[in-house]
Structure 1
Amino acid sequence: MITPEFWSIPARTLSPAELAQKSTVLKERLAEIVKRFSDVRFATSLAAEDMVVTDAIQKAKANIKLFTLATGRLHQETVDMVKTTEDHYGVTIEKVYPQENDVQAFIDQYGMNGFYDGEEPKKACCGARKIKPLNAALQGADAWITGQRREQSTTRTELNLEELDDARGIAKFNPLFDWSEADIWAYIKQENVPIHPLHLKGYPSIGCEPCTRQVKQGEDIRAGRWWWLQSDSKECGLHVNQ
């Protein structure tokens, strides 16, 4: 039996000058955001893109609050990565949990792992464990930041730096929108950014444990997210205006 080769971290392809320019632009974008808005928050998953944004926030000394969605179904490596990041940067990352009654309502209707049954139960689980907690985490904010990139999937090809989050009535920024996967990993290597352990095991994109798997070489980098669904269903709803 042939063991499949899984995705691995790309080799660095940027020159130091190119990387320095990208880093400068990223910090300028963050500085401009905090100049325009008084309460800016960043939702981090602790995966590579979000670690780049976290690193830039700290080095730019940008007044941006960090939080993570503690869904209750995360890999232990992700839970541990929160403390690793806090210790490395000397910051506090707020952990936002789902409401027990919302989770129980999902389980009562679909079962603990009912999200495997199709798009609707998947949306319902993400709604209880991620979207409602995100809404709570952004209460009072006037802007928020993501680590999304255009290159990540077919659903993000039109991504812009700034957009209006109609669902929440606030500004939303994607400061890495024009970065490539190679750019991300070049920055991580150059700046000695902590790496999520699952990236070293063939996971380019990391979400909840039952909904994330390793990706084979040559597959789309988000192929391991909700792999039982179609390619246009690779979003949990966090980044879909409702």
Structure 2
Amino acid sequence: MCAILPLLFLPAFALSQAAAPDTSPARVNADPLFPFSREIEAFAKAEEKDPAVPDAALFLGSSSIRLWDIHSSFPDVGTVNRGFGGATTRDVLHYYPRLLPHAKPRSVIVYVGENDLAGGADPQNVAREVLALLKRLRADYPKAHIAYLSLKPSPIRWTLWPKMAAVNITVAARARVQRFDYVDVGRTLLAPDGLPDASLFRKDGLHMNARGYDRWTRVVDAYLDRMQIADSRAVATS
């Protein structure tokens, strides 16, 4: 596997908005030691209640994953959503065993790292933890297609874009070695002037609206289609 889409070019200018924390409404836990306990418990209850989804596409990460209506966006494949608002890469690693579905997925789509930078983390450390997560997923799912979605440019966090680009570059450079795919979902959110297209985001300037998610869906659906074709060809020649 390799990086399948080009990296975003780093613009030479920045908007004046300050980086904002993730204000996703689902993060309601008061316990500072276990800030996502309710969301994680909800995942466990869903696993007990709903039948396992074989060969699913597992979506894993922060609020950009949680707010994505993946069931409707990808009606031709089974999906499992394990996104929780405000999550950092370290949070995903901490809860990792409790995030995985019972049935092994065919594909894993990961978006995480943005909240790390918004919280003041160094890009090198963020990239290191993202790669640790991807390495763990590869060890647990040696035959799955694993894709890391590039960190996205957003109006309210535009001042963080140089750091996001640094993480993207570092992670993309390791794609072939660690056997995952780097999928650029950021370019599709830019306006012709090279700045984030505000019409693709909610009023908070951070989370995407339906139009923004439509852009992401087209990119990821094309990726999943290519992986399905590759699987079919592998079966035909085996």
What TM-score, normalized to structure 1?
Answer: 0.31
What TM-score, normalized to structure 2?
Answer: 0.31
Q: Which has the higher contact order (CA 8 A, sep 6+)?
A: 1
